Structure 1
Amino acid sequence: MASSLNVIALISGGKDSLFSILHCQANGHTIVALANLHPAPSTNNDEDINSYMYQTVGHSVIPLYEQALGIPLYRQEITGTAVNSSRDYATPSQKQEQDETEDLIPLLQRVIEAHPEANAVSTGAILSTYQRTRVESVALRLGLTPLSYLWQYPLLPPYTQSSLLHDMKTVRQKAIIIKTASGGLDEEFLGLDVANQRTIARLSKAMGQFGEAGDGAILGEGGEFETLALDGPRSLWKMRIRIDNGPPGTLDGGQAVLKIKASTLEDKSEDVEANAGPLRLPELFDEEFWRILQKTENGSDNRSFTPDSATLLNEPPKATTLLANSPIADCLPRSTSSDTPTVFTYSNLTSDVRPTSSPGSPSRQLVKIFLRLDHALKQWHLSRPGINHCTLLLRNMADFTVLNPVYAQYFSDVNPPARVTIAVGGAMPEGLDVMLSVVVDKEEAGRKGKLIRAVNRQGLHVQGRSYWAPANIGPYSQAISVRLPSSEEPSDGEDHKVGEVVYVAGQIPLIPASMEVYQERGFKSQALLSLQHLWRIGRAKGVKWWTAGVGFIPASEYPEKNVRIAQEMWKAIHTPPSTSQNEDEDEDDEADIDPWDLLNRNHGSTFNDNTYRSPIPNTTAVSSPTNPDTTPIPPCFIAQVHSLPRGVDMEWSATGLTCSSIHFNRNLTHSNVTTTSPQNSRSHFYTLEIREQSDIDILQRLGEDSVMDWTSATLYAGPGLDWDMKMSLRGVQWIPCRRVWGEGGKEVRAVLVGRVDREDKKFREGGIVTKLVTSLRFNSQ
């Protein structure tokens, strides 16, 4: 288990903040203090100030938690208001009016002064990005690790919205409803134990009539109701709280609130405690990924994952696999910028190294890189917060801890770009330790200068530990999404029919709850867990299709087996389970349903407790016109580099699409070419395996789909790849690899994965056909 943290638990009195404390303890952490913000005294005894951030109703009971839990409690008055109402929270400037979020800072500073050992803070956020991002912002500024163990809880096994309530019931946490603010919930719900089976059934029926599927209404995530925790397992609760109810009160908008006349502490009943069960921790793997892991471990028929025509694991090219002696990296272009109407790229940016000067330390090199990048952004009238994706190439992964603070200082905005970080060892050009490539999606103006496409940049930047996916503590987001360019100029400056491209950060096999590397079961489990992280992030961003998957593996003498395993897993997760398997699962699910649910679920309630998890790929959105009888599967490539972050065995990288209609084609003539074309968009996504010299000009012979200049692309360059200095690869970043494998385990010279944004119809009809930037050729060997 990871090292223990000393946690300050933010509590509101609600069910979630108290239940999250149990999960902190279950993960080996110690609660050193409780912290609570409360409203100022009111003349009309109204406890509820309708804060966007904090639960305040029932706050008069909060002082009892100190003795009930045996943990010191610190409280402070709320003085700010909801100044910043955006989803993602940015640190306010000194000139801004104080937001209520900032009231957390003096409160937590008081706690830290009294408990200098404190190094973490917990919150009960489940689905509220608004609440989570604000606690994370404050926590990280104070040097505290955010813990949000309930984050995305309904999307974890067993994938039900009520699973949290059932888990509370198992450990005998009692939390009563003290406020209702939703249709279907009236004063009759006040005082009910939210984790009682009958209350859950009543909430389900009410939410079925007035709630929305999957919105967390049964948990009160939309403010439908608020709760007050009164008791729980003895491991946390030393005493229980008893309240004396007054007559229910009514608020504006039909809200009802439980008036509390008095509250006292009582000794806990031993017989109730004896019936308490263990705290359930969500399973690490989703069901579909666990099945794949079991199938892989049981030695299933590997051939089913690989086409019969594939030639597996060819010998590496004769040129060399020792890239320290390879001329590839020294010949490929560096610090090249490309500006198109839709995307700006700066590829393989290096510090300004002159033959007569020393490049300096890795951190000094990175500082120089950022200075050059700033100059380029200013020259092209672009902004630093508009950078959506970065590839950071290092010579030595040992430099990562030194470079990360420099990187974090540069990318200090709310949603920094998604990032892939790898070490390429001796493949790095001589004298260099760091290279950086960036992608910026640009707003697009029409012929008269009118804005016709806003990129609508949205980030997913979860910085707290949970059971969901690894936290990004620092300078990179899990994902950044931007709107794709439309195939037609919209009349109103907006086009909602066109989907988004989603840049996802490289995913490594960290256990989300501890941020430790998953060590069990070796390479298989690491490859699968990092792939699951990719899927969970993709679902959170609405991804329906990956344009390609690229798996990085570190240097090893015999990597072929791991290449096969990784590609098998990629194909397996894209292959729908058999019908018989689904039927068996349905029968098991029916057997596991609580008898009360069986009795009540069809009596007037239309609430669907199952949490919807969108499929990837979404077969209703993806078609394959050239291969209509097959299940479309995006290409998967494996690249071997020197080393990966944290010394892991696998890192997955992919770009997703959210479009409602996507055409995927495998070229019938050239089997090493694929094209993904989102409907209503000018963007087309290509992959090309470069196996032989003759492959070099394939993309310029595809008719109207031919390629000349890339909007943005990545070249995974293996040994044996030569470079013709007469040619150019504008818009293409390159990653020097020890070895590269195409689909079906075929080793290739290189792989190109890229995007081309076509010009408008008039441009295309004018006969200006694109061609491949034929900047590559092979040795004659």
Structure 2
Amino acid sequence: MVEAPVEAVLIKIAGIGLVPNHLGKSLGEMEPILNNLNSKYGAHVCGEGGEYETYTLDCPLFHSRISLEETAPTHHHESSSIAPVAYLRLQSAKLCPKPISVPNLDTVTVPPLFDPESIEAMGKAGLCQVQAHIVPTTPDQSLHNTPSRQSSVSAHDDWVIIASIFGSSSSMPSDEIEQTLEIEVEKVFDRLEVILAESSLTFMDIAHINLHLSSMAYFSEVNRVYTMKFGTSPPTRACVANTLTANSRVMLDAIVRRPSNDHNHQDRVALHVQSRSYWAPANIGPYSQAVKVGSKIFVSGQIGLIPATLTFPMPSSFLEEAVLSLQHARRILATFPSPQWIESIVCYMTDMSYLDQARKVWEHTQSYDKDIPLLFLEVLELPKGALVEWQFIAGTNQNSGDRDDNESNSGPRYICGRQPAFYGCHSQPSKALTVTGTVTNDPIISIKLPPHHPTYIQGFYSSQITADEAERRIKASFNLKEENEVDCAMSLVRVSSIGLNTGPADLDIGFHMMGLLL
């Protein structure tokens, strides 16, 4: 504020080291004093702990400056001598017009769009040749006669997963199929609300939502209904367009965390930035950029918008969008305390021809381990016409009651296998397990993982197979059968192409699994 320049004066004090004589002083005058109090007592220099409040007299946006003509300090009779509470009563003020001038915009410092890490990644990935990707010409397993899946619910420890909530199905009477999109979205949320209530939960407890639309043409209308369901701390969200089953236009999965009973510990922390900056883009819908619950950090799907303008780089460039959207995700995660690590990434693309380029962008990003589970999916459309979207799930041991002073036990362990191909991440003490991979045609082969409860599986399959075949093979690989008592929420979505950290993008099945270690 001082450098902006914003002229603001203290009108309230309520922190250690602040005295009534400080009332009326500007932030410029108080800056060295506040820095000294921060060094001595840990007082927040910006007053975020309620140490002080200010009143703005002038800033570059004001046409006139506020001049305080008459003020009177007022002491709170119950305040302590260590941290007295006092106010500056503004009794009289007037506006003083400022000279009309046109600011020299050339003096405004605009930071580079890409940071050094992104520039290096873009330079190295730019050397990668784009390979033509041809989707296998196998008979299309039509979805029109495939009924919508029944919603499924998984509840383990403090986590509740709700998957496959549709707003319509092929079993509907014909006169209801042409219902408005608004009614369909309302039905999705009505069903979600009922399921949440059965577990004594509300919309406020949702950490993350995976939202699938049959067309991005519905994006704005869905957002209008969606906005009414959440307050100032909405869940994170990933939104893509795919071919959905039956007559559905909307399908939703929700990851929910039960609130902590410890009232002294804030279990949920949301980053919900709605203003424009040069840092990372404001949200383009009713979602938070990131939500931390327990030992997990969910990051909304990031697309390559230029933060200050909310437009894409021109001319259109997959490489620039991939690097920029990945930079957004890095910067969002950097706002949360360390230590933290990436548990999994899903990279949505509208053209799998750029797979090698996307892999190179990730490979040359310095911040993270390169063995992180990564799933590449080619979908029909992304929000705003984006070419690529990165969705992160991170882990942290910054969880009250879960802290482990033994550093070797607190971080992640990355695992991988080849028959079938998978990449996994598990960590203690959070008991989290996340896996991405594919499955084979052989139902005898199962994925060898540490003992765990699978809680949520997002299944993705190509047009080469049916949804029933995909479900059968995924369940067989995780030893999930109808008679099993272990509940696991599961959704299935058809995509155009599927790829992993390495290998071709011609897989017929891919999955993203979340679970809890036993």
TM-score normalised per structure 1: 0.53
Fraction of identical pairs, as percent: 22
Letter of the 1:394 partner, please give it: L
Partner of 2:341: 545
CA contact (8 A) 1:417 1:480 kept: yes
The code of the aligned residue for 1:326 comes to Q
Give the secondary structure class of the aligned counterpart of 1:209: helix
Q: Which residue of 1 aligns with 2:141?
A: 326
Partner residue of 2:317? Answer: 522
Of 287, 292, 298, the residue aligned with 1:481 is 292
Q: Which of these residues, 413, 430, 451, is aligned with residue 681 of structure 1?
A: 430
Whole-Å separation in 2 of the counterparts to 1:454 and 1:336: 35
- Unmatched tracts of structure 1, length 5 or more: 1-163, 307-311, 445-450, 484-499, 577-616, 618-630, 760-781
Secondary structure of the equivalent of 1:219? coil
Relative to structure 1, the CA distance from residue 755 to residue 652 in structure 2 (aligned partners, 3 Å threshold; closer, same or farther) is same
Within 5 Å, which residues of 2 pair with 1:83-232?
164-168=1-5, 173-186=6-19, 189-190=22-23, 192-195=25-28, 200-211=31-42, 217-232=44-59
- What per-residue deviation string (whole Å, max 9, x for no partner) do you get for residues 193-224 of structure 1? 4236xx53444233222335xxxx33333333
Assess, with a 3 A threshold, how the Cα gap between structure 1 residues 280 and 183 changes in structure 2: closer, same or farther. Answer: farther
Which residue of structure 1 lines up, in the alignment, with residue 170 of structure 2? 353
Q: Which residue of 2 aligns with 1:505?
A: 300
Aligned to 2:238: 420
CA 1:366/1:656 → structure 2, altered by over 3 Å: closer, same or farther?
same
Q: Which one of the candidate residues 172, 182, 199 is aligned to 1:363? A: 182
Partner of 1:710: 454
Q: Aligned partners of 1:757 and 1:698: how far apart in 2?
A: 22
Partner of 1:458: 268
Partner residue in 2 for 1:87: none
1:729-752 deviations in Å (ceiling 9; x for gaps): 452222211112211463141322
Deviation per residue, 1:205-252 (Å, 9 max, x gap): 33222335xxxx33333333444444455x634456365778x76553
The answer for the alignment partner of 1:571 in structure 2 is 363
CA contact (8 A) 2:144 2:245 kept: yes
Secondary structure in structure 1 of the residue aligned to 2:174: coil
CA shift, 1:383, in A, is 4.2
Tell me: CA distance 1:328–1:754, structure 2 relative to 1, closer, same or farther (3 Å): farther
1:659 & 1:740 partners in 2: Cα distance? 32
Contact 1:392 1:420 in 2 (8 A): yes
Partner of 2:412: 663
C-alpha contact (below 8 Å) 1:416/1:477 kept by paired residues: yes
Compute the displacement of 1:641 (Å): 0.6
2:259 paired with 1:433: no
- If the length of structure 2 is used for normalisation, what is the TM-score? 0.76
2:325, 2:389 within 8 Å by CA — same for their partners in 1?
yes
CA gap 1:347/1:300 in 2 versus in 1, 3 angstroms: closer
Pairwise CA distance, 1:180:
4.1
State whether residues 519 and 526 of structure 1, in contact with CA within 8 Å, keep that contact through their aligned partners in structure 2. Answer: no
State whether structure 2 residue 353 is matched by structure 1 residue 560: yes
* Gap change, CA 1:738 and 1:466, over 3 Å in 2: same
CA contact (8 A) 1:184 1:209 kept: no
Distance 1:332 1:752, change over 3 A: farther
Contact 2:8 2:56 in 1 (8 A): yes
User: What SS does structure 1 have at the residue aligned with 2:304?
Assistant: coil
- 3-state SS of 1:667 partner: strand
Which of the residues 731, 743, 768 maps onto 2:501? Answer: 743
Match of 1:283?
A: 111
Higher strand share: 2
Superposition deviation, residue 376 in structure 1: 4.2
CA distance in 1, matches of 2:390, 2:49: 34
Alignment of 1:339 with 2:170, yes or no, is: no
- Structure 1 residue aligned with 2:405: none
* Residue of structure 2 equivalent to 1:731: 489
Is the alpha carbon distance of 1:403 and 1:266 closer, same or farther for their aligned partners in structure 2, counting shifts above 3 Å?
closer
Higher share of residues assigned helix: 1
Change (3 A) 1:458 1:299: closer
By how many angstroms is 1:572 displaced? Answer: 3.1
SS at match of 2:328: helix
1:236 and 2:62 matched: yes
Instruction: State the 1:398 CA deviation.
Output: 0.9
CA distance in 1, matches of 2:233, 2:10: 36
Residue pairs, 1:592-671, within 5 angstroms: 631=369, 633-659=371-397, 661-667=410-416
Measure, in 2, the Cα distance between the counterparts of 1:744 and 1:383: 40
Q: For the residues of structure 2 that align with 1:276 and 1:209, how far apart are their CA atoms?
A: 40
Separation (CA, whole Å) in 2 of partners of 1:390 and 1:210: 41
Partner-residue secondary structure (3-state), 1:428:
coil
Deviation at 1:651, TM superposition (A): 1.8
Cα distance in 2 for residues equivalent to 1:182 and 1:442: 35
Q: 2-side partners of 1:456 and 1:245: how far apart?
A: 39
* DSSP 3-state at the match of 1:634: coil
Cα distance change, pair 352–166 in 1 and its aligned pair in 2 (3 A) = same
Contact 1:387 1:417 in 2 (8 A): yes
Deviations for 1:4-38, whole angstroms, at most 9, x for unmatched residues?
xxxxxxxxxxxxxxxxxxxxxxxxxxxxxxxxxxx
State the Cα deviation string for residues 283-337 of structure 1 (Å, max 9, x = none): 374xxx522443355456857xx9xxxxx969656354x9xx3347966971241
User: In the superposition, relative to structure 1, how do residues 186 and 396 fare at CA in structure 2: closer, same or farther (>3 Å)?
Assistant: same
Gap change, CA 1:187 and 1:300, over 3 Å in 2 = same
Please tell me whether residue 754 in structure 1 is matched to residue 503 in structure 2.
Answer: no
Whether the 8 Å CA contact 2:313–2:321 is kept in 1: the answer is yes
Deviations along 1:509-549, one digit per CA (max 9) or x if unpaired, are 34445544554663333223332332343344547122111
Alignment coverage as a number of residue pairs: 481
Q: Distance in 2 between matches of 1:259 and 1:726?
A: 71
1:465 and 1:186 map into 2 onto residues whose CA distance is 34
Q: Is the 8 A contact 1:683 1:756 kept in 2?
A: yes
Compute the displacement of 1:679 (Å).
1.0
CA, structure 1 residues 302+735, in 2 after alignment: closer, same or farther (shift >3 Å)? farther
What one-letter code is carried by the residue in structure 2 that aligns with 1:560?
Answer: S
CA contact (8 A) 1:293 1:525 kept: no
Partner residue, 1:579 = none
Q: How far apart, in 1, do the equivalents of 2:320 and 2:332 lie?
A: 18
Is the alpha carbon distance of 1:389 and 1:260 closer, same or farther for their aligned partners in structure 2, counting shifts above 3 Å?
Answer: closer
- 1:463 Cα shift? 6.0
2:225 maps to what in 1?
Answer: 406
Distance in 2 of aligned mates of 1:734 and 1:441: 22
**Contact 2:122–2:361 at 8 Å: present in 1 too?**
no
Give the C-alpha shift of residue 726 in structure 1. 5.7
Aligned to 2:404: none
Whole-angstrom CA distance in 1 between matches of 2:263 and 2:102: 62
CA distance in 2, matches of 1:292, 1:727: 40
**2: CA distance, partners of 1:267 / 1:542:** 45
